[in-house]
Structure 1
Amino acid sequence: MRRLGAIFTPYSPPEALRDAARAADGSGVPELWLWEDCFRESAFATAAAVLAWTTRLRVGIGVAPMPLRNVAATAMEIATLERLFPGRLIPGVGHGVQSWMGQIGARAASPLTLMREYVPALTSLLAGEEVTTSGRYVALDGVRLDWPPAQRPAIVAAGEGPKTVRLTGEVADGTVLPAGSNPDRVARTLATALEGRQAAGRDDAHQLIVFVSAGFGGDAARAQLADDLTRGNGEVDPALLIAGDPADVARTIEPFFAAGATSVILQPREDETALDEFMAGVGEVARLIGAG
């Protein structure tokens, strides 16, 4: 089944989260995704709050920076939330923005090595295994969670460059692509991730989650999104002009699914203040495309 969701970006203050989450839940949005951008809002604190405030909403973390968090601490956070709210958390990790990681003294000289060590250790811990490893970045000595989840959640990892994307296919259960990726790039990313998966001898399904900036409304919403795309990219890629009424948005995200995306997560504009209306629009798109 194709999946759809919305993003609560940390450009909105934490106190706006409750209303946005309840609007998403009430509007039938299947998933609400959260970011952990330095130095704005914590991913796991906000995820816990959203899960407690809502009844059926799945919550994605897209993504928690690996250099910021010891892998055992991340495993504890995920396991606790998964036991409290079974099946509703979608945990994601990534390299982190390197300049931010440098600000806190946690910048990894080899982000690829960190991911190669971190994601398998995290996966094993969440599977209830005892883990001993001594790598460049991840060192665990007989670590086992006392309260692992009853069922290990899928771990997704962010990737943009081909080396990272290939590695997400090797070690993670899915790849997260940030906003700004058109359907052609989605197709190339999926092919690269599957190359890594094949090289690792894995034949299970691989998720591909893509964030897509969107605007709901008439010509004004379309013009505002076009301005954003121009500022960010210097031009407007027609494939990324996802704006209009819910039927327009449903139609224009279809190529992302056709390119291989398993999840399309709609991202509001940075200065969007009417988050309840945005969530209502996403909920209607979900109904139109039969997303769950």
Structure 2
Amino acid sequence: MTALGAVFRPQLPPERLQAVVRLADGVGLEELWLWEDCFREGGISTAAAALAWSERVRVGVGLLPVPLRNVAVTAMEVAALHRMFPGRAIVGVGHGVQDWMGQVGARADSPLTLLREHLDALRALLRGERVTVGGRYVRLDDVALDWPPAGPVEVLAGAEGPRTLRLSGAAADGTVLTAATSPDGVRRAVRLVEEGRLAAGRGADEPHRVVAYLLTATGPDAPARLRAELVADGLESVPGLGVAGDAGAVAKAVRRLAEAGADTVVLQPTADEPDPEGFVRFTAEEVRPLVP
């Protein structure tokens, strides 16, 4: 079955999160995703609050930019979430927006090398291993978590370009694709992820989840809002991106992404969505019954 989620976008002030989380938990939303976008809201702090305010909804963070984070800190925070809220936290890491990384003096000369080193060290620490490594960016000297997660932890990587997609297949447990990825783009991404998995010798016993965002607008002004966001992002000429309409139209777009290889589809409202709580209810109560 295709998992279905929705995004709480950080264009909303953080004090709006509690009401959205409680509604999501109440209406049976499967996954609520948060973003660590510069310079809006922290991913781990909002995820911890969301998990504490809820009982069943899974909370995803997509993504934590690795240039901003020492891998030991990432591991401690992720491990704490998994121990306090077993099975409900989903964490992805990624390059971050390079202009933003430059603004804070954290831009790496080789984002790909940094992401690979961060993923390898993070996954090892979360497995409870003692890690010593002297990489180009990640350096650890006899580091182990006192409180590693009690069981296996899924670490996802955000990826767009071919090299990062192959890296995600080789070194992560799942891949997060942006809303700029059409169904054909999902198919290409899945192929590249699989190339990376095969090159790394990873087999069927190591599942790899693909998460795809779907830019979604509903309501009377949905087509105009969707088009405005695509234009603002320079994506209006890309075929097959986003969906505007009722639950039937949205479910059809979700199914297209699922058929292309997405295991989880996360509905991403437009930045000017007028009713975030209504969007979550729409996702759980109207779209979910139409998605296998």
TM-score tier after normalising by the smaller chain length:
over 0.9
Q: Which residue of 2 aligns with 1:248?
A: 249
Task: Please give the alpha-carbon distance, in whole angstroms, between the structure 1 residues aligned to 2:108 and 2:202.
Answer: 27
1:42-57 equivalences in 2 (<5 Å): 42-57=42-57
Moved more, 132-141 or 226-235: 226-235
Partner of residue 118, structure 1:
118
Q: Distance between the aligned counterparts of 2:233 and 2:105, measured in 1?
A: 28
More divergent stretch after superposition (56-65 vs 24-33):
24-33
Residues 234 and 125 of structure 1: is their aligned pair in 2 closer, same or farther, counting only changes over 3 Å? closer
- Partner Cα separation in structure 1 for residue 123 and residue 11 of structure 2: 30
Q: Corresponding residue for 2:226?
A: 225
Give the Å deviation of 1:232. Answer: 2.6
Distance 1:96 1:252 in 2: 27
* C-alpha separation in 2, matches of 1:231 and 1:78: 34
* Conserved 8 A contact 1:222-1:241: no
CA displacement at 1:28 relative to structure 2: 1.6
Counterparts of 2:251 and 2:281 in 1: how far apart (Å)?
Answer: 13
- 1: distance between equivalents of 2:289 and 2:89? 22
In the TM superposition, what are the counterparts of 1:68-217 in structure 2 within 5 Å? 68-203=68-203, 204-217=206-219
The alignment's TM-score, normalised by the length of structure 1, stands at 0.96
| CA–CA separation in structure 2 for the residues paired with 1:134 and 1:234 | 40
Q: How far apart are the structure 2 equivalents of 1:276 and 1:50?
A: 14
1:238–1:84 Cα change, 3 Å: same
Inter-CA distance 234–85: structure 2 relative to 1 (3 Å threshold): closer
Pairwise CA distance, 1:244: 1.6
Secondary structure of 2:132's counterpart equals strand
SS at match of 2:167: helix
Larger displacement relative to structure 2 (26-35 or 74-83): 26-35
Q: In structure 2, how many angstroms separate the alpha carbons of the residues matched to 1:146 and 1:153?
A: 16
4+ long deviations beyond 3 Å: none
> Which residue number in structure 2 is paired with residue 36 of structure 1?
36
Between the two proteins, the alignment pairs up a number of residues equal to 289
1:189-235 CA distances to partner (integer Å, 9 max, x unpaired)?
Answer: 010011001000001221111111101224x2123212322333363
Report 1:250-289 matches (<5 A). 250-284=251-285, 285-289=287-291
Determine the C-alpha separation between the residues in 2 that align with 1:240 and 1:27: 27
| Mapped partners of 1:131, 1:215: distance in 2 | 45
**CA 1:234 to 1:164, structure 2 compared with 1: closer, same or farther past 3 Å?**
closer
One-letter amino acid of the structure 2 residue matched with residue 19 of structure 1:
A
Q: Say if 1:79 and 1:241 are closer, same or farther in 2 by CA, change over 3 A.
A: closer
Q: Does the Cα contact within 8 Å between 2:214 and 2:242 map onto a contact in 1?
A: no
* Percent identical: 53
Give TM-score scaled by structure 2 length: 0.96
CA gap 1:91/1:269 in 2 versus in 1, 3 angstroms: same
* Partners of 1:11 and 1:241 in 2: CA distance: 19
1:9 corresponds in structure 2 to: 9
Q: Could you report, residue by residue, the CA deviation over 1:137-163 in whole angstroms, capped at 9, with x for unpaired residues? A: 001111110000111211000011101
| More off after superposition, 60-69 vs 96-105 | 96-105
5+ residue gaps, structure 2? none
Contact conserved, 2:11 with 2:271, CA < 8 A, in 1? Answer: yes
2:65/2:96 contact within 8 Å kept: yes
Aligned partners of 1:226 and 1:236 also within 8 Å: no
Structure 1 letter corresponding to 2:217: G
C-alpha deviation, 1:238, in angstroms: 5.5
Does the 8 Å CA contact 1:132/1:139 hold for their aligned counterparts?
yes
Separation in structure 2 between the aligned mates of residue 249 and residue 133 of structure 1, nearest angstrom: 46
